[in-house]
Amino acid sequence: MAAEYDDDLWEVPEVEPCEEYAQAGDGVGEQEVDAARECGTDGFDDGQPVGYEADELDCKLLEHFGGKIVRKDLTSLMKRGANVPTFVLEYLLGMYCSTDDDDAIREGLDRIRRILSENYVRPDESERIKSKIRESGQFTIIDKVSARLDEYSDLYVAQFTNLNIEPFVMPADYVRDYTKILQGGIWCIMRIAYNRADVEEDDFGDDVFGDERPKKKSSKKKRTPADSPFSVMSLTPIQMPNLDLEGLIEQRQYFSRDEWMDVLLRSAGYEPNVLTERERLHFIERMVPLVERNYNLCELGPRGTGKSHIYKEVSPYAILLSGGQTTTANLFGRMNARGAARLGLVSHWDCVTFDEVAGMRFKDVRAVQILKDYMASGSFARDRDQINADASMVFEGNINDSVANVLKTTHLFDPFPPEFNDDSAFFDRIHYYLPGWEVPKMRSDLLTEHYGLITDCLSEFCKEMRRRDCTHLIDRYFRLNSDFNKRDEIGVRKTFSGLAKLLFPDQKMEKEDVRWLLEYSIEGRRRVKEQLKIMAGVEFIDVNLGYLDAENPGDMRVIGVPEQSSDTLIPDGPLMPGQVFGVGKSLGGEFAVYKLENKAVAGEGKFSHEGIGNSRPVKDSVEAAHRLFVENASRVARGMHVGSKDFLLYFNDLQSKGLSDEVSLAEFVGLCSAACNKPVLDAMVVPGALRISGTIDDIRGLEDIMRVAKNAGAKRVLLPTSSIQDMQMVSPELVSGVSPVFYFPGDYVGAAQKALGL
């Protein structure tokens, strides 16, 4: 009977599993990952491996991580037909396929398939496995087991995740050797015995002749785990029971920066040779929430780029909420509850991932406020208690249009549902915005066929590195510039720290390594700030995030984002005659930059405009500028015959902040420029409200004006000399970035001459 069931199908190895081993997530990968595996060749012929050729990185891994690596093509092959955790597969592959001999690998794969068929416990086959244990007396299973100490009976009480049997006694030796059994459980290979003698016989019933038989007295003793007929004969962890982190970090010295990045990518199942350096960094960035505590990441992009693969397949410490559906109680725990029910997902997991953010829904409107509090501080209030947690938050979703089109009409956080849309306080908590549109779609050549660290090893490495901090490494060489606020600094430092933990776990970084990661970290935070600026305007106007060299403070670099190039507003070169940039407060109360495009054509002195609509204040202001232009054009420059020309204005609200009636001085300059066919000075912006009476309003909010102008790319600003005193209150960085060009107060003719360089 025993031979029929299995136990001789395999033998549990006598040696302990490698100590660099950790758990990976349950279930198969994303649909697009599976599809990529199925299309094209993947190194196998009819489900069997064919010739394999190791490269230089494979040889290094074999030399320095022997026993801790596996061929990822074999993992991909087995994942097709086995809905089991990746780390279980890779453990078995390490047992039976750690050879270069194709025949031995084929034989090993066949054995693994039989083991998974007979010994891996699936929840719906629990009773079948229990029967096998009973009928054969003992049986070897693969399942996840956890234990707790029952202090009243002085026993360790264990139970399985999939095998549905009552709690049983776990020998204390295993608990002492593998302490993770007490910390949420551990996947293992266990030989379970069944002791019939421990099962009480049934009470006697009446005999066939109707005579009553004496009833067996029942002790009515409550059954305990010690009474269970099931007992543990042997236990071999599949997960890494303990991590020698220092030993793993020590091996980092034998790999270059790029080689170590490739090791991480291959360990996660990707092939780095088909990716650019920037694409490889994007894939590494996805791992940062696994190594950094309380890290908030957003990735929006096209479908099919494998956004959730890392959190579903690589780490057992991450949970993926498909569709983004959850409740406040599920996320943060129940009010007035005790024990496990008092804690929610953020207290139990290292990373909580919301997949498909467009579908995020919270019935309790307070959930978003609690989430904002947690994302900012790592703590939240439930009932009377303040609870701390370490879980990172990841938000993933799809963008259904090109980035260029999205930015023309809205912002890059637009896919979030109405509960979050335009909530600048929520999005300000995001530490990094990963540009998912730059990540390639999953395809067969993106899945590696080479060696990589066993998934357990990678995930446990990430888990242990959460305890460390690398934020201070920036300060060895660089300083962040004055556009950084506290949240910007926290976001950039956390991103940098996470990347450094992954790529430089030994913290041995040269100056250019620090610069490389710092610039990438700043870019992701600036992407957040750019969207906040679109949402809330002046409040988030400091978007020019950059850094200074600690040894040479004059060497300052500002980091931009590719999708919003610096020439989108005010270019460095000359404009066409008649075009001018004005800056003023919109009718909604926000400072913004506007482009006024004037054109002079043969006519009778008429003035027409577009882009203003029915806004009476704006219409009155530009018509006042035109009337003063007609009256004073000859004073600006001789030879302008305004009566023989018509003037056309297009009022361009570049930042979609709403129109402004405070750019009439800029319109006066633009009309003069069109009339004399002379462009305004390069990269100049003109503030000021010119009234029909010929007066110019005092300049108010000078620092905001300077900041908006600088962020729009202006190099000069036209100001009255009365603003010189106010300039003392403006930060030196703004003054040095945007040079003032002065005119006498109230002299709009002189202002136009200064702007045109006359």
- Compute and round to an integer the Cα radius of gyration of the chain: 34
- Report how far residue 392's alpha carbon sits from residue 644's, in angstroms, rounded to the nearest whole number: 67
As a whole number, mean pLDDT of residues 313-330 equals 80
Q: For residue 568, what pLDDT band results from cuts at 50, 70 and 90?
A: low
Closest CA to 457 of 311, 250, 142, 238: 238
Instruction: Indicate which CATH number applies to the domain containing 731.
Output: 3.30.230.10
Model pTM?
A: 0.67
CA distances from 349 to 253, 338, 590 (A): 31, 19, 42
231 found inside a domain: yes
561 found inside a domain: no
As a whole number, mean pLDDT of residues 527-547 equals 84
User: Residue 471: is its pLDDT beyond 90?
Assistant: yes
Q: Which of 79, 103, 119 is the last residue of a domain?
A: 119
276 found inside a domain: no
Closest CA to 111 of 126, 100, 95, 122: 95
Long-range contacts of the stretch 110-117 (C-beta < 8 A, 24+): 111/9, 111/10, 112/78, 113/78, 113/81, 113/82, 114/9, 114/10, 115/9, 115/10, 115/142, 116/82, 116/84, 116/92, 116/142
Averaged pLDDT score across all residues of the chain: 83
- Count CB-CB contacts under 10 A for residue 425: 12
- Report how far residue 592's alpha carbon sits from residue 659's, in angstroms, rounded to the nearest whole number: 9
Q: Does residue 76 sit in the same domain as residue 176?
A: no
pLDDT value at position 40?
36
pLDDT value at position 565?
57
Q: Does residue 110 sit in the same domain as residue 155?
A: no
Closest CA to 288 of 305, 264, 266: 264
**Of all residues in the chain, what percent carry a pLDDT higher than 70?**
86
CA distances from 114 to 50, 78, 92, 284, 365 (A): 21, 12, 11, 36, 51
Joined tokens for residue 641:
């015959």
Joined tokens for residue 434:
């990963």
Q: Does residue 330 sit in the same domain as residue 454?
A: yes
Instruction: Identify the residue whose tokens are 């590494």.
Output: 284
Closest CA to 263 of 461, 435, 94, 77: 461
611 found inside a domain: yes
Q: Does residue 296 sit in the same domain as residue 445?
A: yes
- Count CB-CB contacts under 10 A for residue 510: 11
- Report how far residue 382's alpha carbon sits from residue 343's, in angstroms, rounded to the nearest whole number: 10
Residue type, 478: F
Q: Which of 119, 142, 157 is the last residue of a domain?
A: 119
Report the domain count for the chain: 4
User: Residue 32: is its pLDDT beyond 70?
Assistant: no
Joined tokens for residue 138:
């003992």
Range with lowest mean pLDDT among 131-140, 493-502, 584-593, 637-646: 637-646
Q: What angle do CA 699, 704, 707 make, to 5 degrees?
A: 120
Torsion angles phi and psi, residue 422, rounded to 5:
60, 15
- C-alpha dihedral sign at 29, 32, 36, 39: positive
User: Residue 480: is its pLDDT beyond 60?
Assistant: yes
- Report how far residue 135's alpha carbon sits from residue 521's, in angstroms, rounded to the nearest whole number: 60
Q: Does residue 455 sit in the same domain as residue 310?
A: yes
- Count CB-CB contacts under 10 A for residue 5: 19
Q: For residue 8, what pLDDT band results from cuts at 50, 70 and 90?
A: very low
Range with lowest mean pLDDT among 85-94, 302-311, 331-340, 408-417: 331-340
Characterize 286-306 residue by residue with b for buried, 16 or more Cβ atoms within 10 angstroms of its Cβ, and e for exposed. bbbbbbbbbbbbbbbbbebbb
For residue 96, the enclosing domain spans 69-119
pLDDT digits (tens, 9 = 90+) for 191-247: 999 987 544 444 444 444 445 545 544 555 677 888 889 999 999 887 666 678 899
Characterize 137-174 residue by residue with b for buried, 16 or more Cβ atoms within 10 angstroms of its Cβ, and e for exposed. ebbbbbbbbbbeeeeeeebbbbbbebbebebbbbbeeb
Q: Does residue 626 sit in the same domain as residue 614?
A: yes
Q: What is the DSSP string of 206-270?
A: --TT-PPPPPPPP--PPP-GGG-SEEEEEEEESS-SS--HHHHHHGGGGS-HHHHHHHHHHHTTB
Residue type, 685: V
- Report how far residue 434's alpha carbon sits from residue 284's, in angstroms, rounded to the nearest whole number: 11
As a whole number, mean pLDDT of residues 111-123 equals 85
565 found inside a domain: no
Long-range contacts of the stretch 58-62 (C-beta < 8 A, 24+): 58/450, 58/451, 60/254, 60/255, 60/259, 61/263, 61/451, 61/452, 61/453, 62/451
607 found inside a domain: yes
Instruction: Indicate which CATH number applies to the domain containing 361.
Output: 3.40.50
CA distances from 248 to 76, 252, 268, 452, 468 (A): 25, 7, 17, 14, 15
pLDDT value at position 380?
87
- Report how far residue 190's alpha carbon sits from residue 195's, in angstroms, rounded to the nearest whole number: 16
Q: For residue 26, what pLDDT band results from cuts at 50, 70 and 90?
A: very low
pLDDT value at position 534?
78
Torsion angles phi and psi, residue 606, rounded to 5:
-80, 155
Residue 374's SS3 state is helix
259 found inside a domain: no
Q: Give first-to-last CA distance, the chain, whole Å.
A: 105
pLDDT value at position 538?
67
pLDDT digits (tens, 9 = 90+) for 346-364: 888 899 999 888 877 777 7
Q: Does residue 633 sit in the same domain as residue 691?
A: yes
**CB-neighbour burial class of residue 123 (10 A; exposed 0-12, middle 13-18, buried 19+):** exposed
- Report how far residue 270's alpha carbon sits from residue 283's, in angstroms, rounded to the nearest whole number: 9
Joined tokens for residue 437:
């549109």
- Count CB-CB contacts under 10 A for residue 580: 32
Joined tokens for residue 344:
């929610």
Characterize 610-646 residue by residue with b for buried, 16 or more Cβ atoms within 10 angstroms of its Cβ, and e for exposed. ebbeebeebbebbbbbbebbbebbeebbeebebeebe
Q: Which of 468, 483, 498 is the last residue of a domain?
A: 468
Where are any strands of DSSP class E within 576-722?
A: 579-585, 591-602, 607-610, 645-652, 684-687, 716-720
pLDDT value at position 359?
78
Q: Does residue 188 sit in the same domain as residue 109?
A: no
- Report how far residue 22's alpha carbon sits from residue 236's, in angstroms, rounded to the nearest whole number: 14
Is residue 396 within 8 Å of 307, Cβ to Cβ? Answer: yes
Q: Does residue 144 sit in the same domain as residue 114?
A: no
Q: What does the DSSP 8-state code read for residue 204?
A: P
> How many whole angstroms from its chain centre is CA 370?
20
Q: Does residue 448 sit in the same domain as residue 594?
A: no
- Report how far residue 591's alpha carbon sits from residue 704's, in angstroms, rounded to the nearest whole number: 7
Q: Does residue 328 sit in the same domain as residue 391?
A: yes
- Count CB-CB contacts under 10 A for residue 599: 16
pLDDT value at position 338?
63
pLDDT digits (tens, 9 = 90+) for 92-110: 887 777 666 778 888 888 8
Q: Does residue 313 sit in the same domain as residue 460?
A: yes
493 found inside a domain: no
Residue 511's SS3 state is helix
pLDDT digits (tens, 9 = 90+) for 372-399: 999 999 988 877 778 899 999 999 999 8
pLDDT digits (tens, 9 = 90+) for 573-605: 788 889 999 999 988 888 889 999 998 888 888
